[in-house]
């Protein structure tokens, strides 16, 4: 494989791309192998996608601009196109989402937080739709656990500043609660840390779309109810349940008990309006190759 590259960087990051160009030169690449063109989409981007000497275009960006690139490629020399476009990825949390050394809700919250706010949310595959099984969202057992630890705080001498009781008569709501004059050895001070003072329980306040589901059939319908299909995630200890979701979610990547895990050998790309083709892995390399069939007639021995 010996393709040369013309890189049209994002219009917001020309200096970063030009710095990469200096590193490429420093590494000893021959002139003309990697070419970086700063500029705007309607000018520089259009020139690349319509140029008749360009055999293949790979675009990462919005679905709207992806359509424009695809049209330009078709109207020029019908060049190959791979598109890595937008997403509205579902992050699915089942009621059995426990994990080694971590309480169920803690690990699920960690995955939901990382899935959306990784790279400040500027990630095409961000898990912006969090589906939570009803058994997790409404839980009297968790309410009773909170009450228990509040009572520990009172009995051990901490000062209750505010809150400290259930809110309302319906549901499982608990008032925001603050203790003052807390000593390090108190249960409420130690409950969130292990013996090495390492935080094992985190409290998140992410702003995201949280959608309740009560059965598998509804979950699959809700998760697939989008024009996108870039990625998805499942948090569960039941591998059969995870594989069922993975097989039925229309997304190019499905992570189980993790999020945003990539490998150079693992293809990445989307279904539906999240794009065409794949990046990375053998599938990604195929997009930059052409197939040729050569047929040779071999003379017969005595002809």
Active site residues: 84
Q: What is the DSSP string of 112-147?
A: HHHHHHGGGG--TT---EEEEEHHHHS-HHHHHHHH
Tokens of 64: 């709207």
Number of neighbouring beta carbons within 10 Å of residue 188: 18
Spatial distance between the Cα atoms of 263 and 275, rounded to a whole number of angstroms:
19
Q: Name the CA dihedral angle for 3, 265, 112, 134, rounded to a multiple of 10 degrees.
A: 120
Spatial distance between the Cα atoms of 249 and 84, rounded to a whole number of angstroms:
18
Residue 225's H or E segment, with its range, is: none
Which residue from 147, 37, 82 is spatially nearest to 285, judged by alpha carbons? 82
Which residue from 93, 99, 126 is spatially nearest to 245, judged by alpha carbons? 93
Contacts of 129 (CB under 8 A, 6+ apart): 88, 89, 90, 91, 208, 209, 211, 223, 226
* φ and ψ at residue 232, rounded to 5 degrees: -160, 165
Beta bridge partners of 255: 233
């Amino acid at each position: 494989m010996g393709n040369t590259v013309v890189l049209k960087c994002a219009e917001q990051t020309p200096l970063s791309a030009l710095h990469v160009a200096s590193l490429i030169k420093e590494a000893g690449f021959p002139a003309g192998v990697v070419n970086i063109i700063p500029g705007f989409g309607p000018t520089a981007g259009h020139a690349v996608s319509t140029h008749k000497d360009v055999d293949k275009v790979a675009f990462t960006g919005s679905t709207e601009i992806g359509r424009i690139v695809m049209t330009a490629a078709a109207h020029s020399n019908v060049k190959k196109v791979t598109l890595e476009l937008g997403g509205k990825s579902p992050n699915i949390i089942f009621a059995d989402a426990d994990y080694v050394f971590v309480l169920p809700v803690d690990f699920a919250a960690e995955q939901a937080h990382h899935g959306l706010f990784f790279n400040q949310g500027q990630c095409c595959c961000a898990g912006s739709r969090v589906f939570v099984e009803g058994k997790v969202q409404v839980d009297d057992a968790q309410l009773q656990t909170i009450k228990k630890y509040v009572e520990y705080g009172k009995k051990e001498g901490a000062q209750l500043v505010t809150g400290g009781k259930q809110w309302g008569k319906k549901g499982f709501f608990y008032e925001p609660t603050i203790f003052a004059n807390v000593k390090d050895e108190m249960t409420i001070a130690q409950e969130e840390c292990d013996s090495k003072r390492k935080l094992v329980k985190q409290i998140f306040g992410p702003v995201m779309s949280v959608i309740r589901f009560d059965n598998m059939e509804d979950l699959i319908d809700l998760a697939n109810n989008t024009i996108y299909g870039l990625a998805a995630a499942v948090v569960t200890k039941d591998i059969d349940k995870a594989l069922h979701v993975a097989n039925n979610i229309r997304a190019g990547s499905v992570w189980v008990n993790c999020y945003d895990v990539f490998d150079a050998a693992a293809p990445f790309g989307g279904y539906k309006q999240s794009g065409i083709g794949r990046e990375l892995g053998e599938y990604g390399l195929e997009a930059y190759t052409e197939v040729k069939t050569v047929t040779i007639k071999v003379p017969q021995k005595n002809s």
